[in-house]
Amino acid sequence: MPSVPVSELIADNLVSTLGQISVAGGYHNNVSAVVRRKQFGQPTANKLVVVNLGDKELNEANNPLNGRITWLQSYWIDFYLIEPEAGADIDEQINRAVADVETVLMVDPFRGGYAHDTFPSGAVIFPDEEGGQIAGVSILVRVRYRTLLTDPNTQA
């Protein structure tokens, strides 16, 4: 059985880490679910967070280093704000969502030992499927990790 790529182990870590967002834990939001994207379309759960695998690029500054290669993997985290909070405008809700994601991710920037660093790299508001109302915010997170030059499934 082939081993799991390091980028997938990092994605699994992101899913479990984002699941820790709760008001009781000191954050602004309660996340109802965190999943990997299975299909496109509007979710039905409030504050569902979806982790999407983005582009991967070589981190040229360190390649190849003693048979190891350094990657910079992008992940998109979609934070859906389906039900508006009472008394909070949409900008405030989005700012709180981005702050919660960035804060929880930086508790362990090493992604459980799979990565060398984690970089929150910006956010983009996205509309609902009809294109009218704001549905949420996509947060770009980049993770630097290293694998063997000859095997992208083996952490180095």
Question: How confident is the model at residue 81, as a pLDDT?
Answer: 83
Q: Is the predicted pLDDT of residue 122 greater than 90, yes or no?
A: yes
Phi/psi of residue 16, each to 5°? -70, -35
**Among positive and negative, which fits the CA dihedral 8, 54, 49, 24?**
positive
Question: How confident is the model at residue 37, as a pLDDT?
Answer: 74
pLDDT tens across 133-151, in order?
778 899 999 999 998 888 8
What is 6-155's CATH number, 3.30.70.1700, 3.50.30.10, 3.30.360.10, 1.20.210.10?
Answer: 3.30.70.1700
Q: Which residues pair with 68 in a beta bridge?
A: 65, 148
Name the residue with higher pLDDT: 6 or 50: 6
Q: What confidence category does residue 62 fall into, taking pLDDT thresholds of 50, 70 and 90?
A: low
Give the Cα-Cα-Cα angle 38, 41, 44 (nearest 5 degrees). Answer: 95
All residues at 6 or more sequence positions from 12 whose CB lies less than 8 Å from its CB, including other chains: none
SS3 of residue 55 by DSSP: strand
| pTM for the full predicted model | 0.87
> What span, in angstroms and rounded, lies between the C-alpha atoms of 156 and 147?
5
Range from 8-22, 31-45, 104-118 carrying the lowest mean pLDDT: 31-45
User: Amino acid letter at 33?
Assistant: A
> What span, in angstroms and rounded, lies between the C-alpha atoms of 102 and 96?
10
CA 96 to chain centre: 16
Helices and strands, counts by H and E, the chain = 2, 6
Domain boundaries, the chain: 6-155
